[in-house]
A = this chain, B = another copy of it.
Amino acid sequence: MEVTLMHHTPLEVCAHAIRTCWQSFDKSDEGGEKDKALIDRVGNKYKHASTLEHLVYTFYIKGVSRALLQELARHRITSLSVKSTRYTLKELKNREPFNENDYKKAEEFLVLTGNKMVDTASIKALNNLQEILKLGTSNDIAKFCLPESYKTELTWTINARSLQNFLELRSSKSALWEIQSLSHQLFDTLPMEHQYLFEERISKKQN
């Protein structure tokens, strides 16, 4: 998977929002250490979490499975625009069938699990789907035999409060392995100076 940060709100906007409440603008250091401490104190420790909503991140996420998408979409205080199978399955039409053991090649379209039986089953499904599409079946019918390992992409906008909740639940050891991995990549992709807001929410990486 590949995660890119396309846009984010600078910390000083959040600090300004907090200073609106107490009218303490004169104490600002424009997104510096004082402002950072303020955001953590008010947004995290004082549970005035709505102030964190002014920080908004737009990520571009590539190469995750539609299995993962099922879980990600349950987080509803976000905005997501997802690659549509209804409109893009034609991408398979002009391809050769995949060799059932050529995982490297299939990885262009599938998230691999490392379990050969599962990955081969996905490749078989991919080949069946390709054949069906080549016969001119409409995407809306063909997509029903799509395996959930099929790769998708999305542009995802989420504020810091909602992202804290996402990272806490989805980096947990009891979460699906792929979404644990996404959680860590999201964290790593955040601007360095924003990461401190999420550090207590994210579980340590598994070896």
Contacts and interface: CB of A to CB of B under 8 A. Distances in A.
Contacts of A206: none
5 residue pairs, one from A and one from B, having the closest CB atoms: A53-B79, A76-B76, A17-B155, A121-B145, A17-B81
A99 interface: no
A28 interface: no
Interface in A111-136: 111, 113-115, 117-119, 121-122, 124-125, 128-129, 131-132, 135
A139 B6 CA distance: 34
A58 B54 contact: yes
B70 A69 contact: yes
A113 B124 CA distance: 19
Interface residues of A, number: 76
So how many copies of this chain end up in the complex? 4
Contact of A117 (B16, B67, B81, B135): B135
Contact of A86 (B91, B122, B169, B176): B176
A20 B76 CA distance: 19
B155 A149 contact: no
Interface string A1-32: 00000110110010011101111000000000
Contact of A20 (B13, B121, B155, B159): B155
Contact of A124 (B18, B54, B124, B143): B124
Given A118-B132, A145-B125, A146-B147, A140 B176 contact: yes
A20 B153 contact: yes
A103 interface: no
Contacts of A177: 140
Interface string A87-119: 110010000000000000000000101110111
B129 A121 contact: yes
A154 B51 CA distance: 11
A157 interface: yes
Given A7-B10, A137-B117, A125 B147 contact: yes
